[in-house]
Amino acid sequence: MPIISRSAAFVVAVRMFAAATPALAVDPAPGTGPLCSPTVSVALTRWDMGLQAAGKFGDRAVALAMEKGREYILPLLGIDPTVSQPGTEDGTGAIGRLLESTRHDPQQRLELCMAITEAVESAKGSTAAGLETLKRALDGFVP
């Protein structure tokens, strides 16, 4: 009988938990543009739930969950998460810290989602633009 490693079991548990969590998104009013994209909301929720679950398994698991979170956000900005690019660590690290700081404040989480949604909309078509708009969006966001 095969034995599943702890890290494999952790990854499976996080994915199952993340898939079961509902997305909290706000539909934009007609003609006003996106407020909080459902896609961004789901990405943030999954990343946050992964970080919370990983916290029970220690620092290594949290580091792994932080890396997996990059895979949720970077493609939305047109960035390949498998290719190391300058500035992506800073941007995703900032998002990870903001996820932690907004965990218990739904209004701030909504504002973070709106800032990232704006960056995603502005970045369509260019990786460099994606990183720049993410930096601008996060600079304007103050938890």
Q: What confidence tens digit (pLDDT) does each residue in 20-51 have?
A: 444 444 444 444 555 899 999 999 999 999 99
Range of the domain at 51: 6-140
User: Does 32 reside within a domain?
Assistant: yes
User: Does 61 reside within a domain?
Assistant: yes
> What span, in angstroms and rounded, lies between the C-alpha atoms of 85 and 70?
12
User: Does 1 reside within a domain?
Assistant: no
pTM: 0.63
Average confidence score pLDDT of the chain: 73
User: Does 87 reside within a domain?
Assistant: yes
Task: Name the phi and psi angles at 38, rounded to 5.
Answer: -60, -35
More confident of the two residues 81 and 55: 55
User: Does 86 reside within a domain?
Assistant: yes
**Angle formed by the axes of helices 88-101 and 127-140, nearest 10°:** 30
Alpha-carbon distances, residue 110 vs 16, 42, 64, 117 (angstroms) = 24, 12, 25, 10
The domain tally of the chain equals 1
Find the mean pLDDT for residues 43-60: 92
Residue 8 has pLDDT above 80, yes or no: no
